[in-house]
Amino acid sequence: MAATATERALLIDGEWVETGEWLDIRSPYSGDVVGRVAKGGANETRQALDAAERALAKPLPAHKRAEILVKVAGLIGKNHEEVARTISDEAGKPIKTARVEASRAMSTYTFAAVEARKLAGEMIPMESAQAGEGKLGFTIRKPIGIVAAISPFNFPCNLVAHKLAPALAAGCPVVLKPASQTPLSALLLARFEQEAGLPAGWLNLIVGPASEIGDVFVEDERVKLITFTGSGGVGWMLQERAPRKRVKLELGNSTPVIVAADANVETTAAKLAANAFAFAGQSCISVQRIYVERPSYDAFLQSFVPRVEALKVGDPADDDTDVGPVIDADARTRIAAWIAEAQAAGAKLLAGGEDGGLIKPTVLAEVADDQKVSCDEVFGPVVIVNAVDSIDEAIDRANGTRFGLQAGIFTASLDTALNSADRLEFGGVVVNEAPTFRSDQMPYGGIKASGNTKEGPAWAVREMTEERLVVIQR
Ligand code: NAP
């Protein structure tokens, strides 16, 4: 279905603002213009911060914040197909996957509403020390202040929701900079927040040159927290440049999964084939490295490869498409080069490869650990499968990465599962499910190069608030 081009203004201080300059948003599949967005810069970002500062001076009570969050969830539901089409058009995400993302964004707002209602501090047992006798102590949670949010292209709706909804739950005004390639879903959420009754200044949305907007976020002292989801290079640079702010980073991974010899091969192969290529592998926890214990290796490949080949590749707007394009030509060229490098170094191509404008779901076997498709983040529809001689070897190779976001293991043994959960150095370990699994109430975030925080409304709200101690002499 051809999308119609629409024009969208920026949101500053409750007003939709045109700047006289426009950015074309193009479908990664067809190249058609699917929308035009006003282009802002440092000036608009400062105006947005002025508005956010005024909003912060007039706090919204928690019950009102919760009501708005619930209304936004309802508006996403009411406009579900429009949200899904917008995600699909701008990101090239298969429509059935985009529908799941739209539903998840509803959950994210709903969970955040719960957090707004139960935001509270804790009692401190003052009399447990002699010095505390006769004193009452408790903490209250205060909003940290203005939140600057930067989001990536790959979940243009739900990863924006994971920033906007907890910030509102915490009582923090936001200035959001969505990815330049995919700002339309974020603009839809901004429209819903306005319709839900969010007062002026609480959400401001600027699209434009990343470094110009990022510089304002880093340099302006009114920004107390930067919440960033994206690549490590940008994320760690922001943290280095803003040592006095909270800089919360959700970054990449090179997701490993271990298939133990006692795992059910058919079930495992089915789950991994379905999950490794969702949104063409452009998820930070897309299955990338599969380590199979040698007794199951051949059987696993015999089950896995035909399932991968059966995935339908094509137009993201079609209901039966499983795998669409990667985000742009640069990504396609890079991924094709990494596949070719691995092959040149001896890896076997069992399925896929580049095909015209698309990278087909690709399976490489017997890949050396130093190949980019193994040790870097592919962020494309490519998995590697290697045989291992033991679970110990699998865990060592899974851990042999600078990343640490999420990992998985398939096994019939509780002992192997728990031992692996203990030893896999990742922010999350998923047992008997693809490690691409995420549900929006979970604490989700990485260690090592993968980041320094947990998202999921309950955890993000804690990051976006400060605990203040109150001591009362009775
Ligand atoms: P990216 O290139 O780092 O872009 C992410 C965001 O940062 C975009 O809004 C981008 O703006 C902005 N940006 C770029 N340079 C900047 C600068 N100098 N200052 C401030 N902002 C700047 O990442 P991406 O390609 O969109 O996303 C892919 C990466 O995100 C992968 O590594 C993936 O693993 C990671 N990711 C992590 C999670 C998680 O939860 N851990 C979730 C999803 C994705 P422009 O678009 O305008 O360039």
pLDDT tens-digit readout, 191-214:
999 999 999 999 999 999 999 999
Nearest CA to ligand 1 atom 8: 179
Banded model confidence at residue 356, pLDDT cuts 50, 70, 90 = confident
Residue 407 CA, ligand 1 centroid: distance in Å: 21
pLDDT tens-digit readout, 372-429:
999 999 999 999 999 999 999 999 999 999 999 999 999 999 999 999 999 999 999 9
Is any atom of ligand 1 closer than 6 Å to the C-beta of 173? no
What pLDDT shows up at residue 1? 38
Nearest CA to ligand 1 atom 35: 230
The Cα-based distances of 55 to 14, 58, 200, 204 in angstroms read 10, 5, 7, 11
Residue 457 CA, ligand 1 centroid: distance in Å: 20
What pLDDT shows up at residue 167? 99
Catalytic (active site) residue 284: yes
Is any atom of ligand 1 closer than 6 Å to the C-beta of 442? no
Sign of the alpha-carbon dihedral angle for 12, 17, 19, 23: positive
What is the CB neighbour count within 10 angstroms for residue 24? 11
Pocket test for ligand 1, best of 228, 251, 439, 447 (most atoms within 8 A of CB): 251
pLDDT tens-digit readout, 139-173:
999 999 999 999 999 999 999 999 999 999 999 99
Is any atom of ligand 1 closer than 6 Å to the C-beta of 230? yes
- Is residue 6 pLDDT above 80, yes or no? no
* Cβ-count burial 57-66 (b if 16+ within 10 Å, e if not): eeebebeebb
What is the CB neighbour count within 10 angstroms for residue 294? 12
Nearest CA to ligand 1 atom 26: 152
* Cβ-count burial 356-373 (b if 16+ within 10 Å, e if not): eebbbbbbbbebeeebbb
The Cα-based distances of 339 to 151, 235, 383 in angstroms read 28, 26, 10
Is any atom of ligand 1 closer than 6 Å to the C-beta of 42? no
* 3 state SS for the chain: CCCCCCEECEEECCEEECCCCEEEEECCCCCCEEEEEECCCHHHHHHHHHHHHHHHCCCCCHHHHHHHHHHHHHHHHHCHHHHHHHHHHHHCCCHHHHHHHHHHHHHHHHHHHHHHHHCCCCEECHHHCHHHCCEEEEEEEEECCEEEEECCCCCCCHHHHHHHHHHHHHCCCEEEECCCCCCHHHHHHHHHHHHCCCCCCCEEECCCCHHHHHHHHHHCCCEEEEEEECCHHHHHHHHHHCCCCEEEEECCCCEEEEECCCCCHHHHHHHHHHHHCHHHHCCCCCEEEEEEEHHHHHHHHHHHHHHHHCCCECCCCCCCCCECCCCCHHHHHHHHHHHHHHHHCCCEEEEEEEECCEEEEEEEECCCCCCHHHHCCCCCCEEEEEEECCHHHHHHHHHCCCCCCEEEEECCCHHHHHHHHHHCCCCEEEECCCCCCCCCCCCECCCHHHECCCECHHHHHHHCEEEEEEEEEC
Q: What is the layout of strands, in order, in the sheet containing 15-17?
A: 15-17, 10-12, 203-205, 174-177, 146-150, 223-229, 246-250
Which ligand 1 atom sits nearest the alpha carbon of residue 217? 20
Banded model confidence at residue 2, pLDDT cuts 50, 70, 90 = very low
Angle value at C-alpha 439, between 464 and 305, nearest 5 degrees:
135
Which ligand 1 atom sits nearest the alpha carbon of residue 250? 41
pLDDT tens-digit readout, 264-308:
999 999 999 999 999 999 999 999 999 999 999 999 999 999 999
User: What is the residue-averaged pLDDT of the chain?
Assistant: 97
Banded model confidence at residue 235, pLDDT cuts 50, 70, 90 = very high
Residue pair 294/389 in contact by the 8 Å Cβ criterion: yes
Residue 89 CA, ligand 1 centroid: distance in Å: 19
Pocket test for ligand 1, best of 44, 150, 245 (most atoms within 8 A of CB): 150
Q: Which of 115, 172, 284, 293 is catalytic?
A: 284
pTM: 0.97
- Is residue 355 pLDDT above 90, yes or no? no
Separation between Cα atoms, residue 288 and residue 280, nearest integer Å = 11
Question: pLDDT above 70 covers what percent of the chain?
Answer: 99
Pocket test for ligand 1, best of 229, 327, 439 (most atoms within 8 A of CB): 229
- Is residue 3 pLDDT above 60, yes or no? no
Nearest CA to ligand 1 atom 20: 214
Which of 326, 250, 248 lies closest to 285 in space, CA to CA? Answer: 250
Residue 156 CA, ligand 1 centroid: distance in Å: 11
Is any atom of ligand 1 closer than 6 Å to the C-beta of 79? no
Is any atom of ligand 1 closer than 6 Å to the C-beta of 180? yes
- φ/ψ (deg, to 5) at 160: -70, -45
Is any atom of ligand 1 closer than 6 Å to the C-beta of 179? yes
What is the CB neighbour count within 10 angstroms for residue 251? 27
What pLDDT shows up at residue 472? 98
Catalytic (active site) residue 240: no
Banded model confidence at residue 4, pLDDT cuts 50, 70, 90 = very low
pLDDT tens-digit readout, 39-64:
999 999 999 999 999 999 999 999 99
Residue pair 430/408 in contact by the 8 Å Cβ criterion: yes
- Is residue 325 pLDDT above 70, yes or no? yes
* Cβ-count burial 67-84 (b if 16+ within 10 Å, e if not): bbbbbbbbbbeebeeebb
Task: Dig out the tokens for 46 from the structure.
Answer: 């400062």
Nearest CA to ligand 1 atom 46: 179
Separation between Cα atoms, residue 469 and residue 160, nearest integer Å = 32
Is any atom of ligand 1 closer than 6 Å to the C-beta of 152? yes
Average pLDDT of the residues in 313-331: 97
Is any atom of ligand 1 closer than 6 Å to the C-beta of 440? no
